[in-house]
Structure formats: C-alpha cells, structure tokens
A and B are shown apart, each in its own frame.
Chain A
C-alpha cells in the first residue's frame, strides 16, 4: 500500500498539473468529489492532495487586471460627467476672492462679484481622472474610505459608502485614526487603499487631518478642493464647490457609479477565473483516474 501511495503521488507529479488555484478552492471541491468516488480512490486522492498541498503556494489566485491599464478609459467613467452637468450642480462656485489660496489659482477661470469661479473644463478633467482611479482601485479589491466633515451631507456620504459596499468616516477625526490605527481600533487593521474626501476642509476651516495622515502612509487621496484649500498634499485634487448639497450629491453619485463599475468588472472576472479553475481541476482528475485504472490493470 505504501508503495502504491508513493507511486500515485509520483504519478500526480508526473502529470504535472499542479493547479494555479490556492487552498481555498481546494477545500471547497474536496467534499463534493469525495462523495462520488469510492473509498480507495478517495484515500489515493487525499494522499495526492497532501502531496500537492505541501508544494502549493498558499496565496489565493487573483484575477488578471493588467490589460485594463492599456485602455485609457476602461470603465467609461469619462462619459459620466461633463462641464454642463457640473455647472448644473453649482460646481463652479468658489469662496470669496479674499480667501483664495494662491495654489488654487491654476484652476480658476475668473472672479465675479468678488467670488471665485472655477474653470469647469479643468474640473471635469480632474474629476474624470479621479473617477478612473476609483474604479481601478475597486477592480483591484481595494478598500475605499469616504472621509469628510460636512454635517449637512454626513448622512448622504454614509449612505453612498453603504450602497457601494465601502466605508465612511464623517464624524470627529481623532488624531492617528489612520497612522495609529492599531491602537485606536485595539486590533490589527488594514488601512484603506484609497481615501475619498468630498470636502478636503475640516470643520474649523483648516485642512482635514485625514489628508496629512494618508499622505504619510502613502495612501492615495481623492479630494474636492475649494478655493480656500491647499491641493498640494492630495494625490488627485478636484477643484470645485464643496459646500453646496447639490454638488456633494453629484460627487457622491459619480463615485458610487465608478466604484460599482469597478466592482462589477471584478465580479465578472472572478466568475471567469473560477470557471477556468474548475475546468482545470476536472481535466486533472480525469487524467488521474485514467492513470489509476491503467495502473490497476
């Protein structure tokens, strides 16, 4: 019997169909296969499993996403927004010119009645880039965190995060919520992979703490910067109005759509991958079966 076993494990290696799948998939199928086959075969199979178990790299397989980078706008999020849509949602209104941050001058179209007006072409370009990044990160199964301090939009932002299966932080920001996450949460935590700020301002009119903390941790940030904000620490700044309810509504719906598109693509690719793995496993088992029958004969 011991000879048999070693033979079979050797045969398994000879066939050389060490699957690309990981252990997770393996455990799933083992139960269903065991019920169909005879006990001897199962024993053989389990031995085979054990042999390949040792060789297996324990990383779970992931979907291939490299081809999405070749396309300029893979998810078609560029068509979601246009300057006229931004105009309808009052994105062009800035604060008074006396509070204009000199670093925001590059996004300004002009000044009317001492109020800053943003150039919506530039805003549209930056918003598109940001939507694209959000969709790509959602495709790669990144954790996305919505952060803001807007009391009148807190409910909306939390609801948006909930709808796209992500996270939101709209309450008081305690220092170190990102940088010292382990102590504040009292457990090992995975920090987010993308921080979206519908408003980059804190409630006291200074920059939101999350921007600095994310920059320290090398987490990319997408932030809507009004004319009194500093866009320098934000990875993907979007110039625009961050006070009106309607413009926040627009940002929320756009980011929700982008994230859902990324997640939809991910689900599609995961399904394909699983089918492929199941097929491979079937081929492998069939080969093994035929081999066992020839050997026993």
Chain B
C-alpha cells in the first residue's frame, strides 16, 4: 500500500462507510445528469434565486412568473440537475475555469414560508 500523508495505512479509510450511507448526496443518485433533487433557497438577489441542494456549489436560477412572490429565503424548491459544476477549459487556457456554480433547471416550488403554492392547490383540488 502506498503511504498516505504520514498515516498508518493498516486500517480501512473511514470515508468508506460514510460514503455508502443511504442519505449521501451524489452516491445514491447515480449519474447526476437529469436527476431531480430538492433544494432550499438561501439568498434572493433581484430575480436570481440562490439554491443550496447539499452539494459543493449552490445553483442560481431565475425567479419564475408563477407564484413569484413565494420564492423567498428558506423556500423549498425542486431542481433538475444539468451539470454539477459549470466549468470548462477555454481555448488557449492551461487551467480549467469554473463559475463555482451548479447548472440546474427549476422545476417547481414544494413549499414556502409565505404560503401554499398555487400550482399545488390546483393539483390537490383536481383530486377531490
């Protein structure tokens, strides 16, 4: 076994059981592209919603027109992941440039501190 930063290498890495845990993001997801996840809005700047979904980077989405007033801090939203990190190696560059952002599409609102989303109301009334 190769040496690992001056550590005793006789034991198994303690990250193994942590990673295989059921709730771990990214490891129960499989290929993240196209998967739907739940995120929480933690900052609103004009029409930009900063959503944290337990990943290294947050994602920034535009505020939709439907239920626009309900998208406030601590509102839970549903997101579809396109890319976990928006980064690329530009032509002529040696290093990769990253926006430090994930690329996601806003699917809808789950709940908001300000009230029940309209689309959800319609949905539930349709059943009754």
Interface of A toward B, CB cutoff 8 Å: 83-84, 87, 90, 92-96, 98-99, 106-107, 109, 112-113, 115, 117, 119-122, 125-126, 205-206, 228, 241, 243-244
Contact = CB atoms under 8 A, between A and B. Distances in A.
Contacts of A243: 56-57, 100
B56 A117 contact: no
A244 B55 CA distance: 8
Contact of A113 (B5, B84, B97): B84
9 contacts: A83-B15, A98-B87, A99-B87, A113-B32, A115-B84, A119-B4, A120-B13, A125-B6, A241-B56
Secondary structure of the A side of the interface? mixed
Interface of B: 4-7, 13-15, 18-19, 26-27, 29, 31-32, 54-57, 84-85, 87, 89, 95-98, 100
A122 B5 CA distance: 6
B19 A93 contact: no
Nearest to B33: A113
B85 A122 contact: no
A107 B96 contact: no
A84 B95 contact: no
A98 B96 contact: yes
Contacts of A122: 4-5, 7
A94 B111 CA distance: 31
B7 A115 contact: no
Closest 8 CB pairs of A and B: A99-B96, A93-B56, A83-B14, A122-B5, A120-B15, A87-B18, A96-B85, A244-B56
Contacts of B85: 95-96, 115
B18 A205 contact: no
A233 B4 CA distance: 19
A106 B5 contact: yes
Contacts of A93: 55-56
Contacts of A92: 15, 19
Contacts of A90: 54-56
A107 B5 contact: yes
Contact of A87 (B15, B54, B55, B57): B15
A123 B35 CA distance: 30
A243 B86 CA distance: 14
Nearest to B97: A205
Q: Which of A121, A122, A206 has the most CB of B within 10 A?
A: A121
